[in-house]
Homo-oligomer: A and B are copies of this chain.
Amino acid sequence: MKDTTMRSELGWSDADTIVVRGYDLPSQLLGHVDFGGMAFLELMGRLPTPAESAVFNACVVTLVEHGITPSAIAARMTYLGAPEAMQAAVAAGLCGLGTVFVGTMEGAAKYLQQSFAKAGDTYDIDELAAAIVADHRSRGAAIAGLGHPVHKPNDPRSERLFEIAAEHGFRGKHVALIEAVRVHAERASGKVLPLNATGAIGALASELGIPWQITRGLGVMARAVGLVGHILEEMRTPIAAKIWHATEAAVTETRIAN
């Protein structure tokens, strides 16, 4: 017989009690946990240690605000048409956090976690890195987490994130592996390939035990915060209509010139 049982353990309440992830919300979480700790709880099902909290918060903070991104433009365009529904503007901005921009974080966490899972208890970091690079090159695929158009030879965010990780005892095997991947990839390609922020975060999320399948969620939650900031700026010093008109003008110019 088909199992129709529905199970969800995230939160529930009755007249006297409000429970979130097994904690009494008013007495055990409010005043005791910050937003980053709450996000960690949602992902891991338990509260972070202070060390975990430091590393996790640094990762998420890195992802909040990247200035005028495609995602921010989409959110602002949506707000221009539907200012009464700012939640839909944030939603529109999130819809674009797919394989091209945020997916690289997922990609890095995936090959790091899968390499160790496959290798089992004994492994050689250098061999694993060589295998990852060879696999990508044989498929003609870019290696997630490497390369940056502007920040060369090193992405200052990655360096700082790994410094914070080291301070708190989280500069472990996943960090070692992605750094080895970088060395092998630079050697094989002859190019400078900075370890970018999404690569660093993919490695640190793996150190924290976050499954690669949900790492994109770090970017989604962080960027939701950032997009609220963009909507607020759009309320005060709007640019959406200007972007629209500049785009229309550019398209019109091309049409007339042809």
Contacts and interface: CB of A to CB of B under 8 A. Distances in A.
Interface stretch (A123-131, A136-144, A177-185, A238-246): A238-246
Contacts of A20: 64-65
B95 A87 contact: yes
Contacts of A135: none
Contact of A160 (B10, B26, B60, B96): B26
A50 to B, nearest CB: 11
A27 interface: yes
The A contact surface, by secondary structure, is helix
Interface in A1-58: 4-16, 18, 20-21, 25-27, 29-31, 33-36, 38-39, 42-43, 53-54, 57-58
A58 B82 contact: no
A11 B65 contact: yes
Contacts of A245: 4
A100 B88 CA distance: 14
B74 A87 contact: no
A140 B81 CA distance: 21
B224 A6 contact: no
Which of A54, A62, A94 has the most C-beta atoms of chain B within 10 angstroms of its own C-beta?
A94
19 contacts: A12-B251, A29-B61, A31-B54, A34-B36, A35-B61, A35-B222, A39-B225, A42-B229, A80-B96, A81-B97, A81-B102, A82-B88, A87-B98, A88-B95, A89-B95, A92-B92, A92-B93, A220-B224, A246-B247
**Top 9 closest A-B pairs, CB basis?**
A82-B98, A42-B229, A81-B96, A224-B224, A35-B36, A11-B67, A217-B228, A78-B96, A92-B92
Interface of A: 4-16, 18, 20-21, 25-27, 29-31, 33-36, 38-39, 42-43, 53-54, 57-58, 60-62, 64-75, 77-102, 150-152, 156-157, 159-161, 163-164, 167, 211, 213-214, 216-217, 219-222, 224-226, 228-233, 235, 237, 239-248, 250-252, 254-255, 258
